[in-house]
Chains A and B, each alone.
Chain A
Amino acid sequence: MLGVQNKRGEIMKSAMFIDDDEHYHYVIKKLKQRNKIPHLGDVIPALNGREALEYLLKHMEEELPDAIFIDINMPVMNGFEFLEKFKQEREKHTQFKTIIPIAVITSSTSDRDKNEIERHSIVDEYLVKDVDINELANKIDKLLV
């Protein structure tokens, strides 16, 4: 799969963003529009873990996102619950044979959350949502390269 290319001819990756804050999805959209995350291709927004899980299960035969960025504190199904459930699903279905990298993006910097995140082996990165969004954009982009 060649994938979609950006202006510089680099491959762009699709990513799923799971966060209950609609403003966050707006910000991601804007960052992409303004080319602050040059390697970001298609964006799949989800407002909580359950929505994300349902999407992934529904689309596992087709194209899945190249990366998942997930928040922790969410109603309905929070980040930790999602990670637990998604891990189980991944083991059940051969369709998930290519492992999707997962990054946690949260504004929480507490040790408790950090430890809990580390406990989840399927998490590849832990990014802190901070007031400087350009920095966040850079971090997201790096992970997509």
Chain B
Amino acid sequence: MSEIFRKIFESSPVAKILVNVDSKIKFINTFALKLFGYHYEELIGQDISILVPKEIKEKHPELVKNFFEVPLPRKMGRGRILFGLKKDGKSFPVEVGLTPIETDDGLFVMSSIIDLTQQYFAEERFRSAVESAPNGMLMIDAKGKIMLVNRQIEILFEYDRKELLGQQIEILVPDDFKKHHPKFVKTFITSPEPRSMGIGRELFGKKKKGTLFPVEIGLQPLHENNDEIYVLASIVDITKRRNAENEIEEKSEELKEFAYRTSHDLKAPLVTISSILKCAEEDMKEGDYDEAMSNITKVRQISSNLQSLVHTILFLTKADLGEEDQTLFDFEKIYEQLSLNYKSQLEAGNIKFINHYLHRKPLKTHCSRLSQVLDNLISNAIKFSNSNNSNSCVQITTYDDLEWFYIQIKDNGIGIPSDKQSEVFSMFKRFHQGIDGHGIGLYMVRKFVIKLNGEISFESNENGTCFFLKFPKLENKVNLLS
């Protein structure tokens, strides 16, 4: 080997090894010695497979031969990760370029070896960071092909990663958006700035079985080897957040309605009280003490109504608080209690209060809440009885099947006007002139029934009203299943 050639070889900042057709090391530069941890004497004349991990050692001379059959410059390994073996037994990732060199002494191959340890670990770190991210993360290439997915993506979209790698990203996009999606990928690639996807729009992901779920997506361009661009997308399932937002919105609407209604319904009686007191004042001035007295009585009555309204509102606002334990509901007791509570009204209206309990198994529920529901419905049935009917009757009936417990409250009272029936469960709705009420009762009843996982409906005409309640018998279901 010429001295010039040797010097060029030696001074190269890349590890270089010259090997002959028999796989023997004919020359090795200092950089390569350092990389593999050997002295010159230890390697010169040795088989090159000494620097190859043991998994490949046996096959290596064959590979060298293959190269000499078609001696063209090329990269070794074709896309596989190659490893070199150091003197101390440790292997490390490398890239190897092969160049045939024709000399007077025959054909040699010069391998240039680049240590990829740093890149390799950087990539490993990147992969494990992506893998362990709490969000779904995936990487696509500039053409939208999925290059990398993490565990969370598998969980979110219910795919195995094998089913996703190499696929177009559109596999995860809802059908009606699929067509346009490649355009969006292109646009992003041409101006790759980190950003959120679809600002102002609602984004959805598509699971393997086709169901859609709301997502939030962050996009991050990755530039590799200067010319290739990849996109790293971070995907968060926002189903829970969306549901919570909807719930908050619903609650806030309800609260607004509540504030609006209560402010009106609390203010109106105050205005009346003040007006009547003004009248009473004038009565006193005029010496009409009887009239003044009657006005003061009125004020007391209005105040007491107002107090009961406040009480009801307070009760209503507590509807969302605390849960009592489920116990067996005592239907006999509630019948006795309500008969006693409404004794005077029942007698005054000559109203019969009947129970018709046909259920076979008891109902386990949050008892005080159900009591409130029944109290409200019974008191309505009594309040809206038909005074022209001498056979006024309020009936509570129960029955059950395997899944449900049914309760009916039926009356033959004046009924709910047909044009108002759609508003029955709204807050502060009153439909009858001359009958006291705050218009909160049925709103509260429905709220409580829903809390008890039950359902409520009614039928009403001028011959009376019947409310139907049903509650799931969860325990029985469980028993049946087991």
B is bound to A: yes
Taking Cβ atoms with an 8 Å cutoff, the residues of A that contact B are: 20-21, 23-24, 26-27, 30, 34, 47-48, 51, 73, 75-76, 107-108, 110, 112, 129-134
Contact between chains at A21 and B274 (CB < 8 Å): no
A-B contact pairs, 30 of them (CB 8 A): A23-B272, A23-B276, A23-B298, A26-B276, A26-B279, A27-B272, A27-B275, A27-B276, A27-B278, A30-B279, A47-B433, A47-B434, A48-B433, A51-B433, A73-B268, A75-B430, A76-B433, A107-B268, A107-B271, A108-B264, A108-B267, A110-B260, A129-B268, A130-B271, A131-B270, A131-B271, A131-B274, A133-B274, A133-B275, A133-B278
Chain A residues near B432 (CB-CB < 8 A)? 75-76
Chain A residues whose CB sits within 8 angstroms of the CB of B274 once the complex forms: 131-133
B431 surroundings in chain A (CB, below 8 A)? 75-76
Given A73-B264, A107-B268, A130-B271, check contact A27 B433 (CB 8 Å).
Answer: no
Which B residues between 274 and 316 are near A, CB-CB below 8 angstroms?
274-276, 278-279, 282, 298, 302
- B479 interface residue, CB < 8 Å from A? no
Determine if A112 and B260 form an interchain contact, defined as CB atoms under 8 angstroms apart: yes
Cα separation A23 to B417 with both chains bound (whole Å) = 26
Those of B173-228 within 8 Å (CB) of chain A: none
Q: How many residues on B have C-beta within 8 angstroms of the other chain's C-beta atoms? A: 23
What is the bound-complex CA distance between A70 and B258, given in angstroms? 24
Binding site secondary structure of chain A:
loop
**Is B243 on the interface with A (CB-CB < 8 A)?**
no
User: Complex Cα distance A47/B264, Å?
Assistant: 18
**Within the assembled complex, what's the spacing in Å between the Cα atoms of A107 and B260?**
12
Shortest distance between the CB of A38 and any CB in chain B (Å):
16
Q: Which residues, 244 to 265 on B, are CB-close (under 8 Å) to A?
A: 260, 263-265
CB distance from A131 to the nearest CB of B (A): 4
Find chain B residues with CB under 8 A from A34 CB.
Answer: 282
Asked if A129 contacts B264 (CB within 8 A), the reply is no
Most chain-A CB neighbours within 10 Å: which of B260, B271, B278, B417?
Answer: B271
**B-to-A contact residues, CB < 8 Å:** 260, 263-265, 267-268, 270-272, 274-276, 278-279, 282, 298, 302, 417, 430-434
Q: Is the interface of B mostly helix, strand, loop or mixed?
A: helix
CB-based nearest B residue for A29: B279
Report the separation of the CA atoms of residues A75 and B265 in the bound assembly, to the nearest whole angstrom: 13
Cα–Cα, bound, A77→B432 (Å): 9
Give the residues in chain A near B417, CB-CB below 8 Å. Answer: 76
Are the CB atoms of A134 and B278 closer together than 8 Å? Answer: yes
Residues of A within 8 A of B276 (CB): 23, 26-27
Pick the contact of A107 from B264, B278, B430, B433 — CB < 8 Å?
B264
A26 proximity list for chain B (CB < 8 A): 276, 279
**What CA separation (Å) do A75 and B270 show in the bound complex?**
19
Complex Cα spacing A3 to B282, Å: 29
Q: For the complex, give the distance between the alpha carbons of A130 and B267 in Å.
A: 9
For A130, the chain B residues whose CB sits under 8 A away are 271
Q: Kindly state the separation between the CA atoms of A108 and B434 in the bound complex, as whole angstroms.
A: 21
Residues of A near B265 (CB, < 8 A) are 73
Residues in chain B near residue A129, CB distance under 8 A: 268, 271
Whether B275 lies near A24 (C-beta < 8 A) is yes
In the bound complex, do residue B433 and residue A20 qualify as a contact, i.e. CB atoms below 8 Å apart? yes
**Shortest Cβ distance from A111 into B: residue:** B260
| Nearest Cβ on chain A to B390's Cβ, whole angstroms | 26
Q: How far is the CB of B424 from chain A (nearest CB, A)?
A: 13
**A26 to B295 CA separation, bound complex (whole angstroms):** 10
* Chain B positions within 8 Å of A108 at CB level: 264, 267
Neighbouring B residues of A75 by C-beta, 8 Å: 430-433
Instruction: Find chain A residues with CB under 8 A from B279 CB.
Output: 26-27, 30
- Additional A-B contact list (20), CB under 8 Å, known A23-B302, A131-B275: A21-B272, A24-B275, A27-B279, A30-B279, A30-B282, A47-B434, A51-B433, A73-B264, A73-B268, A75-B430, A75-B431, A76-B417, A76-B431, A76-B432, A107-B264, A107-B267, A129-B268, A132-B274, A133-B274, A133-B275
